[in-house]
Amino acid sequence: MGDWNDAFTGLHGASRITVTDRTAPWTGRLVSQRSRTYGMALCSGGQERVIRDTRHIKADPRGTYELLVPLAGTAWVEQGASSGEIRPGVMALCDIDRPLSFAHDDDFRSISLIVPGSGVAGRSVAVAREPQVIDGGSGLGRVIRTMVSTLQEEREQLSEASFDLACDRLLDLLCLAAEGAGDSAPAGQRATVEAEIRRYVRRHACDDDLDVVGIARALGWSARYIQQVLQAAGTTSRDLIRRERLHLARTRLASAGWAGHSIAQVAHSCGFGSHASFSTAFRKEFGMSPRDARPDALPQPGDPG
């Protein structure tokens, strides 16, 4: 038990750790990895209660936050006016330099991601202000939970620089999720998110089934969040997809490599099901007909008149 206390407090900070039966064999297990910026630990077994109070914080300030990602069992977390139960699918982000109480049973197993407090505050003042409970069962929360598990499994194969890069990305997503990315669009993150949406749509413009649900699933945000980011940018997912498809079609119409394809074939290759609707949209977007966009505007075999 003494070795466990030393390992636990060395990683998480000075604390008071109590167990129900000190005479019983200790079953706790802790595997950790640290870089100069981030840390990660896999903890399992051992019923205990951990209290980190003002005295511990003054004696051993850490300047860190911890994301608790349960893999099995249930734990109880209390910090300030916030308290709640966490279990697989529910994560908690806590400030280690605020009084904290944490308890769990023997079957609890979790991953802790340790991040610098400056990194949290620099990304989101709102998130740094109070502890956060994050839904890890769907949307961006599920992506974070999966990434944390994968990083824990692969951490020994990564250089310190690669480990920190992965943690940086996780912290970006974590602050988005904690700010409510599933239901609202934090203004400070919109430009980055919008750029990722546009890149994805550009790469997948030819996909017949491209829609806001598919974009959200691929990028790890909710469809509602995607819609809010695009709305703030003055567009919609439908308009963005149509515009990217039209620009792709214009490029293909002007390309010698597509000279042997009819306008209808080019339209179909770019995700348009109807030649007539394609022509109407193309003229509205560019002020010319698809035929006018071809080199020398020469009629092509199979083109309608």
| Residue ranges per structural domain of the chain | 2-178, 187-235, 239-297
> Are domains 2-178 and 239-297 of this chain identical in fold?
no
Mean pLDDT (whole number) for 192-200: 87
Residue 300 has what pLDDT? 47
The mean predicted confidence, pLDDT, of the chain is: 86
- pLDDT at residue 180 is higher than 90: no
Q: Which CATH class is domain 2-178?
A: mainly beta
Q: How confident is the model at residue 103 (pLDDT cuts 50, 70, 90)?
A: very high
User: Tell me: the pLDDT tens digits for 54-102?
Assistant: 999 999 999 999 999 999 999 999 987 677 888 998 999 999 999 999 9
The model carries a pTM of 0.59
Q: How confident is the model at residue 125 (pLDDT cuts 50, 70, 90)?
A: confident
**Residue 28 contacts residue 35 (beta carbons within 8 Å):** no
- Please write down the long-range contacts of 263-271, taking CB distance under 8 Å and 24 or more positions apart: 263/290, 263/291, 263/294, 263/300, 263/303, 263/304, 264/302, 264/303, 264/304, 265/302, 266/290, 269/206, 270/205, 270/206, 270/245, 270/246, 271/205, 271/206, 271/207, 271/208, 271/210, 271/241, 271/245
For domain 239-297, say whether CATH 1.10.10 is its number. Answer: yes
- pLDDT at residue 299 is higher than 80: no
Residue 61 has what pLDDT? 96
Q: How confident is the model at residue 45 (pLDDT cuts 50, 70, 90)?
A: confident
